[in-house]
Copies of this chain bind each other. A is one copy, B any other.
Amino acid sequence: MDAQTVTADAHALGGAGGSAAAPTFLEQLIEAGLLIPSGVLGLYGRSETFEAIAESLNRMVKRLGEDHHAETLRFPPAIGQHDFETSEYLKSFPQLAGTIHSFCGDDRGHRRLLARLEDKEDWTDQQQPTGVVLTPAACYPVYPVIARRGPLPPEGKIINVMSYCYRHEPSLEPTRMQLFRQHEFVCIGSPEQIIAFREMWMGRGQAAVQALGLPMELDVANDPFFGRGGKIVADSQRELKLKFELLIPVNDGLGPTACMSFNYHMDHFGALWDIRTADGGTAHTGCVGFGIERLTLALLKHHGLDPARWPQSVRDTLGGQ
């Protein structure tokens, strides 16, 4: 599906349900005002109610990891191109990344730009890369920062991050947004530390989703690695069980949606950025990620579009400060 088609579809969507068929979950969310269409698939405004749920999930995630006494860092939704290149994201998911481009011309170039715009032609040919790339996953800015600090303490390091992330995958599924929030705990240390961290979070994640009254299953992940070579990487990821996902059915008539993931990167990021453990070895890393929009949507799907009418146990789980 190309960008033009998608935009046209989304405009139709924004016009809302003239069709006789039962409204899709996305149409219900838009009709209830929870998501606000923007004319682009996967790009939505959020109502106050939607945001209140998202914020209570963010607080819940922080509470779940309170015993880590993690360092909290917050990054804007972009990283430097140099760090992005180092991450090797382009090897696996070139199609999902978003680079930021700006007009760098003069008065004459500006007149050309405006003339194109006036004639409804493409005006982006003068846009130049700015050296800034949208954050593909909330933990990506963390690794270079930790690397620059020098060797880790013996107990390793746990960081809490949360940010908007970008992925270029326009979709009619509300769970597949182009801009969405990931809330993560990132663990950097020895293989044993990462594996214990991940094991613990798989338990905590499942307990939290149970307390939220949602159906789930845990499975090894199936990431969309790019191209023919990507299939081999995907097979290896599954074989080595490097990534587990907590899946919840959310969308109409489709497979369940990964709402949390539990990742062991082995020494991938540690080697790329030369992160060292206290004893001088290459650090291993792992992370647990919560998809804030996806969990919000899962709650709305299973408990209804009005949070005031959700089961008390669910509201209690979300409600604490």
Q: A94-B113, A129-B122, A131-B40 are in contact. Are A164 and B76 (CB under 8 A)?
A: yes
Chain B positions within 8 Å of A173 at CB level: none
Interface residue? A46 (CB, 8 A): yes
Whether B117 lies near A90 (C-beta < 8 A) is yes
Can you pick out 7 interface pairs between chain A and chain B where the beta carbons lie within 8 Å of each other?
A3-B131, A6-B131, A38-B83, A43-B78, A45-B75, A78-B166, A106-B227
Q: A74-B45, A76-B164 are in contact. Are A99 and B101 (CB under 8 A)?
A: yes
Interface residue? A17 (CB, 8 A): no
Q: A90-B117, A129-B124 are in contact. Are A51 and B39 (CB under 8 A)?
A: no
Expressed in whole angstroms, the Cα–Cα distance for A214 and B116 within the complex equals 46
Expressed in whole angstroms, the Cα–Cα distance for A85 and B7 within the complex equals 14
Partner pick for A48 among B3, B7, B72, B99, CB 8 A cutoff: B72
Expressed in whole angstroms, the Cα–Cα distance for A141 and B39 within the complex equals 11
Expressed in whole angstroms, the Cα–Cα distance for A81 and B38 within the complex equals 10
Expressed in whole angstroms, the Cα–Cα distance for A96 and B100 within the complex equals 11
Interface residue? A145 (CB, 8 A): yes
Partner pick for A227 among B51, B110, B130, B134, CB 8 A cutoff: B110
- Nearest B residue to A180, CB-CB: B76
Partner pick for A90 among B107, B113, B164, CB 8 A cutoff: B113
Q: A36-B73, A95-B102, A131-B40 are in contact. Are A117 and B85 (CB under 8 A)?
A: yes
Oligomeric state, in copies: 2
Whether B7 lies near A100 (C-beta < 8 A) is no
- Nearest B residue to A120, CB-CB: B85
Expressed in whole angstroms, the Cα–Cα distance for A47 and B72 within the complex equals 7
Chain B positions within 8 Å of A105 at CB level: 94
Interface residue? A305 (CB, 8 A): no
Whether B100 lies near A131 (C-beta < 8 A) is no
Whether B97 lies near A73 (C-beta < 8 A) is no
Interface residue? A178 (CB, 8 A): yes
Whether A164 lies near B77 (C-beta < 8 A) is yes
Chain B positions within 8 Å of A131 at CB level: 3-4, 6-7, 40
Q: A72-B51, A110-B94, A123-B90 are in contact. Are A83 and B130 (CB under 8 A)?
A: no
- Nearest B residue to A178, CB-CB: B132
Chain B positions within 8 Å of A3 at CB level: 128-131
Chain B positions within 8 Å of A179 at CB level: 76-78
Partner pick for A103 among B71, B75, B94, B100, CB 8 A cutoff: B94
Interface residue? A104 (CB, 8 A): yes
- Nearest B residue to A125, CB-CB: B129
Shortest Cβ distance from residue A171 to the other chain B in the assembled complex, whole angstroms:
13
